[in-house]
Each structure stands twice: as structure tokens, then as C-alpha cells.
Chains A and B, each alone.
Chain A
Amino acid sequence: MKPFRRRFRSRGRFQQAREGHHFSCPPCSRSTCTLADVPAGCQARITSFASQLNSGRGAQLNAYGLAPGRWIRVIQSSPVIVVQVDLTEIALEQDLARGVNVQDIK
């Protein structure tokens, strides 16, 4: 009976996450958090690009609105990360998202 209930509860949480009301976004425990750590349904502020990101990529992210200082909302994190910036939806790969440092996950 127990596993079934657990499964049931986790489904309820999924539902909440989709509605984006009651589900609280866990703060990232690491010292530097990246876009890849932000759960779906949460918002975060971009702080900087990691040094492993080449400058052309940085400029492209900037142009798409993923610029340091901006708030973005993560819509989906698998199979690729989809974020919403202003009214644009941008899909990017996890590896690329790991090069985008964020803070203030909420």
C-alpha cells in the first residue's frame, strides 16, 4: 500500500508544479548555481556566463534575451531545457545551460 501512496503523492506534486502556485522552488545548495539546476516552473535571475562558454555563444544568448541581470522562467527541463524570456521561448541544451550562472531561484 505504501509505495502506491507515495506514487500518488508525487503525482499531486507534479500537478502543483504545473499550476505553479503551491509548489515552492528549492533553493540551490551549491555555491554557484546554473540554469541547469533550476527546476521546471521556477524563476531565476541570470548573473553571469561561465568562462567555459565561448564569447560568440555568450553574445547569442544575450541577443536572445538571456542576459546577465534578467529574470527567466524555466518551463521544462527535459529532454532539453526550455526557458521563457519576455515572451520568447528558447530551447537550450543542458550542457549549454550549465554555462549560465543564476541566483535567487524562486
Chain B
Amino acid sequence: MHCHDTASSSISLNNGNIALIGQPNVGKSVIFQRLTGLHVAVANYPGTTVEIARGTARNLPEATLVDTPGVITLPPFTEDEKVTERLLLEEPLRAVIQVGDAKNLRRTLLLTVQLVEMGLPMVLVLNMMDEARARGITINHATLSAHLAIPTIPATAIHGEGVEELIGALKTLAPGQFRLNYAPEIEAAVAEVCARIPQAPVAGRALALLWLSADPVAESWLKDRLEDRSYVALLAQRETLQLSFIEPIANIIQKTRIDYVDQINQGVMNDAGEGWRGLSTILGRLTTHAIWGVLILGLVLYVLYWFVGIFGAGTLVDIMEAKLFGEIINPRVVEIAQRVLPFPFLRDLFVGEYGLWTMGMTYALALIFPIVSTFFLAFGILEDSGYLPRLAALSNRLFTAIGLNGKAVLPMVLGLGCVTMATLTTRVLESKRERLLVTLLLALAIPCSAQLGVIMGMLAGVSLNATIIWGGVVLLVLLTVGWLASRLVPGERSHLLVELPPLRLPLISNVLLKTLVRLEWYIKEVVPLFLFGTLVMFLLDKIGILSILIEAGEPLVSGWLGLPAVASAAFLMGFLRRDFGATGLFLMQSQGLLTPLQVVVAMVTITLFIPCIASVMMIAKERGWRSAIGIMVLVFPLAFLAGGLLNRILIYIGWGL
């Protein structure tokens, strides 16, 4: 009936959005930034974007640009890939910009064929041309365009090359006219499916091919729109077709595409180089080596510890907290408050022990701000270098032991930045089981940047040994709980398969921009929570509940953990945000109230403590309330169990008394 090769005629070329689609880690978000001027997270690892971002293109009036998570191929394999396919099937698009890696033309074209079959106006951007050139690759763009009947544009988006050409091409796009012929049985089935399915934003032919490939998103799209009877008939037809092949239909369809792509690839790509061996290749290989890789990881961690723990949490905090706030700002503020504010109650509210300024703002600006700044800076460099996917390869064995694969290292490492964001990133994992396990471990054992900074600062104040004990215990808890949980949660482990992008020298401007955006987030999200927390503490203190709570917590905090009773207040603050609690402990340490042993025990306990409210909400959103509550119920006693046991062990061996 309406099995057009192009998308349904209801789509006007002047309406709808423009979607950026492509494989992971090819630079979609960089182009999005270039076209819209908006900042979205950009980094050198697959899975930086897990949600759709929208923005208005500066040079294309009335066009909304949509940035999507990367798709390796269709049918999709992970949650974030599904997000992108759903966009294609549900949103009328004016055009598609496919972004591809110029060094990997075959892989890029395999997705191009799938997209161009959808019949939408389309342009192909071959990004990272600089890297392709450095490896001796040349591409004949004119021939390529002729084969696919779409414009192709060479680009190095990070330097702005090719962006103007892209804008020009977008203004004169026409619906795609490409058609690839499949085996006769498949063509017959496509025609039959086409006649039975409702109109979609993409060409009926493309949707039929997705359906025949048993694509889960296409299946649910059709199920929602067809009567049960028609859907069952379609299923039966597909099963009958399958009988004529030994291999799954999806493989037969894909094989035709692969052969076609190999054929064009041969005609348009010329590889003059004899393999490329720069310093980055050699270093890249060392990072995944069984021995060198571990040494490099150790070095990276040590540099991180030095920069964030010693320099950020030591030197910078000392300048900010003791000098700037302690000697200059706070005495003035207190003085002014005493002059201006008439009632002692109000004075205490702002500048008392639990004062909004003396506690809330001082914590947020003097203690945590310098720490998160150094952390975000170091983290941004690490992200853009391309080291993180290599860590996935290196740590695969460790994750195998806890029923996961190395890919889980990505959300875990991102959790060191912000556990809330990392929970969202679990979408890049392949099974529900893996997403649940990683979410649990994130909530339990991964401290976020603010907390990590405070912890590093406190531990660096004790000794490197203290840091190693803390790290070792947290890792042990993570592995034990992961090992147990992976045996309790049903399902199979999936094997590691991950691309290792080349190591790159990070672009300073991008790293700085990212750091600024993250700091803005910190100021907007964390500071209000600190103020709110301080207010709660102040009120509890004034009504007299605080002392009751501290007393009630005494058996647990003093008896079991062996900490001074006032530490209860810090753990109470930890309910709001772990780093808020950690900051309370930081202050106790700087007042000389904690022995090295107590510092380590307190740090282990607060690290394992329940995560902040924002991440609990995120866990509930991504995994459901049942899982969220289950995780909280598990995490809370575990934190105290581990802390108490560590206390006893350290006393027994006589460390840090």
C-alpha cells in the first residue's frame, strides 16, 4: 500500500527536528555544540551521551537539533541505543545528520545504509579527518556521495573544520533515494509486511526490515499500533520466513549490507599507510598490558591522589579555609552579624555553630569547592584522553569475579565524579542484571567527587598508609558485596566487547569548559542542599533534638565504631549528602578530635553510607522504587558493619591508636 522507499509524505521538509545520529564516540556531541552553541558533555569514551539533548541551531532558524546516544548497529543492544531508535520511529524528523569516524569507513557505512534506507533527508559527516589523514587514509567523497545519494562532508569538528559545509548542506537536503536489494524471499516478505503496517516517520521498507530482523523497538512500536490479530499474523509470517533460512533473518539482511559496504569501501577509500605507529598507539597498548597497564593505573591514581588530595584538599583548602575564611571573611561576617542582627536566635542562625554562613557556606565554598575544582579538572583530562575504555579492558578480570564485565568500570569511574550521573550511565550496560548490580555498587561503595575530595584530604593528613587501608577496605567490601550479589541476582554475565579509542592529548579549552560547567552544577545543586542541611541541623539543635539523637546514636557511633559521640551529628548530616557528613568529620579532625584510627574508620563508614538524595531519586527513576528501597536497606547496615569490624581489626593489630 504505502511501502515507499522514502519516508511518508506527511513530513514536510520545513518541519520537525534534525537528529544527530552515529556510532558511539564519533563526535556527535561536538557537532551539536558547534551548531547550537550549547554545552553538552563531550569526552573520549563511548557512552558519554546517554540521554537525548535538544537545542536550537544558530544558523538554521526554526530548526531544533537533537543529540542522541550512539548506536553501534540496529537492532539495538543496550538501553541507550534503544533511546535513539525510539526517536527515529516516534519523532517526525526533518533531517538526519549521521556522524561517522573517517578512520572506520566500513563500520560507519554499515550504519549509513540502515539510516539511508529510512528515506529521511540525510547528510553524512565523516569526522576526525585529521586522524584519518595522519594514518594515510584518503576518501573519495564524490564517489561515496554518488553511491549513497546523499551529501558527504569531511570534518574535524573539534577544530570547527567542516561545520560551515554541514550547515550549507542542511539547507538543500532532499529525501533519500537509496535502495539496496535483498534476497528475493526477503524482498517478498518486506512487501507483505509493508502492506500491513501503519505509516511511520521512516520509510515503511526500513521499518519492515527492522521488524524482520526482530528489532525489539520496532516490535513494541508495532504492537502499540496494531490490533492483536494483525500483530499475531505478522509474527506468524516472520516465523514462516525464518523456516527458509538456517541463520536468523537478521544475519541474512546484515550480510547483504556488509557485502555492499565492502564493495563501496573498496572503491572510495585508499589506505596509503602501512599501519600507524605514533606514540599514542604505543602508550595505548601499554595501558592494556597485564603488567604495564597496572603500573600505569597505579601512576594515574597516585597523580590523582597528589593533585586532589594533597594539593586540592591540603594546600588549597588551607588557603581558603584557614586563611581566607578563617582569618579574613568569617570574623568580619560575624562582626557585622552581631551589629546588624538584633536577636541571638537570628545571630546563631547565620553565624552560630550550625550557622548558615559559618557552617553551610563555609563548608561549601572553603572546604569542598577547591577540592571539587581540582577533581573535575583532573577528571576532565582523564575523560578526554581516552584512558577510560582501556581501563575496561584492564579491569575485566576483576569485574568477571563479581559477575560483570569490564564495561562496568565506566559508570563506576564516572561515579567518582557524581554518583547520580553515573546511575544514568548504567544504560550503556547490556543487561538489566548488570545495570542493577552496578547501581547497587555505585550506591554502596563509590564516593562522589565532593566526598572523595574531603576523604582524600583527611587521609592525606594522616598518611599514605591510611589512604591505602581505606581504599583496600572499600574495594574489599565492593568485591565481596558484588560477588554475593552476582550470585543472588539471576541471569548470566555478558562478555566484554568494547572499542578502544585512540589516546588523545586533551584539548585544554574543552577540559576547562567541562570543569566550569560541572562547577556551575556543583554551585547550583550542592550549595542549596548544604544550606538546607545546615538549617535542619540548626533547628534540631535549637529544639534540643540533636543532643537526644547524638545520645541515641552513641552506642552505635561510640560503642561500635569507637568514635567520639559528636560524630553522630556528622552521620546525621550524611543522610542528606555523604560529603556533607564527611565535611563534618573533616572539621572534627582539624580540631584534633580524631585519632588516625578513628579517621580511617569514620571514612570507611561514611564512604559506604547511603548516597545523596539526588542519587536515590535517580536510582528510583532508573531502577524503580522497590530496587531503590532495597538498596538503601542493604547499604545502611553494611556501612556500619564494615566500619565496626575495621575498628576492631585495627585495634587488634594496633594501627593508628
A55 smallest CB distance to B (angstroms): 4
B288 close to A80 (CB less than 8 A): yes
A90 close to B394 (CB less than 8 A): no
A57 to B497, CA, bound (A): 9
Q: Mark B217-233, 1 if CB is under 8 A from A, else 0.
A: 00000000000000000
B500 close to A82 (CB less than 8 A): yes
- Cβ–Cβ < 8 Å partners of A28 in chain B: none
Determine if B578 is an interface residue (Cβ-Cβ < 8 Å): no
Determine if B72 is an interface residue (Cβ-Cβ < 8 Å): yes
Determine if A104 is an interface residue (Cβ-Cβ < 8 Å): no
A82 close to B288 (CB less than 8 A): yes
B284 close to A89 (CB less than 8 A): yes
B99 smallest CB distance to A (angstroms): 16
A93 close to B499 (CB less than 8 A): no
- Cβ–Cβ < 8 Å partners of A78 in chain B: 290
A88 close to B104 (CB less than 8 A): yes
- Cβ–Cβ < 8 Å partners of A61 in chain B: 497
A55 close to B251 (CB less than 8 A): yes
- Cβ–Cβ < 8 Å partners of B309 in chain A: none
B497 close to A59 (CB less than 8 A): no
- Cβ–Cβ < 8 Å partners of A47 in chain B: none
A101 to B456, CA, bound (A): 48
**Are A60 and B104 CB-contacts (below 8 A) given A91-B393, A93-B396, A96-B497?**
no
Determine if B416 is an interface residue (Cβ-Cβ < 8 Å): no
B499 close to A64 (CB less than 8 A): yes
A3 to B502, CA, bound (A): 40
A86 close to B107 (CB less than 8 A): yes
B77 close to A88 (CB less than 8 A): no
- Cβ–Cβ < 8 Å partners of A55 in chain B: 247-248, 250-251
Q: Mark B190-231, 1 if CB is under 8 A from A, else 0.
A: 000000000000000000000000000000000000000000
A60 to B251, CA, bound (A): 11
A80 close to B393 (CB less than 8 A): yes
CB-CB contacts below 8 Å: A57-106 with B: 57-65, 67, 69, 75-76, 78-80, 82, 86-93, 95-96
B254 close to A90 (CB less than 8 A): no
- Cβ–Cβ < 8 Å partners of A82 in chain B: 285, 288, 393, 500
- Cβ–Cβ < 8 Å partners of A56 in chain B: 75, 77
- Cβ–Cβ < 8 Å partners of B293 in chain A: 79
- Cβ–Cβ < 8 Å partners of A75 in chain B: 285
Q: How many A-B residue pairs have CB under 8 A?
A: 109
A61 smallest CB distance to B (angstroms): 7
B276 close to A79 (CB less than 8 A): no
A59 close to B289 (CB less than 8 A): no
B495 close to A92 (CB less than 8 A): yes
B496 close to A87 (CB less than 8 A): no
B285 close to A76 (CB less than 8 A): yes
A65 to B497, CA, bound (A): 12
B103 close to A88 (CB less than 8 A): yes
Q: Which of A55, A79, A82 has the most CB of B within 10 A?
A: A79
B497 close to A87 (CB less than 8 A): no
Determine if B427 is an interface residue (Cβ-Cβ < 8 Å): no
- Cβ–Cβ < 8 Å partners of A79 in chain B: 288, 290, 293, 393-394, 396-397
A29 to B108, CA, bound (A): 36
B290 close to A59 (CB less than 8 A): no
- Cβ–Cβ < 8 Å partners of A59 in chain B: 73, 75, 77, 250-251, 254
A78 to B290, CA, bound (A): 6
B405 close to A93 (CB less than 8 A): yes
**Are A87 and B135 CB-contacts (below 8 A) given A59-B251, A62-B258?**
yes
CB-CB contacts below 8 Å: B385-423 with A: 389, 392-394, 396-397, 400, 405-406
15 A-B residue pairs with CB within 8 Å: A55-B248, A57-B495, A60-B73, A62-B73, A65-B104, A76-B285, A79-B290, A79-B293, A91-B288, A91-B392, A91-B396, A91-B406, A91-B498, A92-B498, A93-B496
Nearest first, the 7 A-B pairs at minimum CB distance are A63-B73, A91-B393, A96-B495, A89-B500, A87-B103, A55-B248, A93-B496
Extra pairs beyond A64-B499, A93-B405 (18, CB < 8 Å): A56-B77, A59-B251, A62-B110, A64-B107, A65-B106, A69-B262, A79-B394, A80-B396, A86-B103, A86-B105, A87-B103, A87-B104, A87-B137, A89-B502, A90-B497, A91-B393, A92-B495, A93-B496
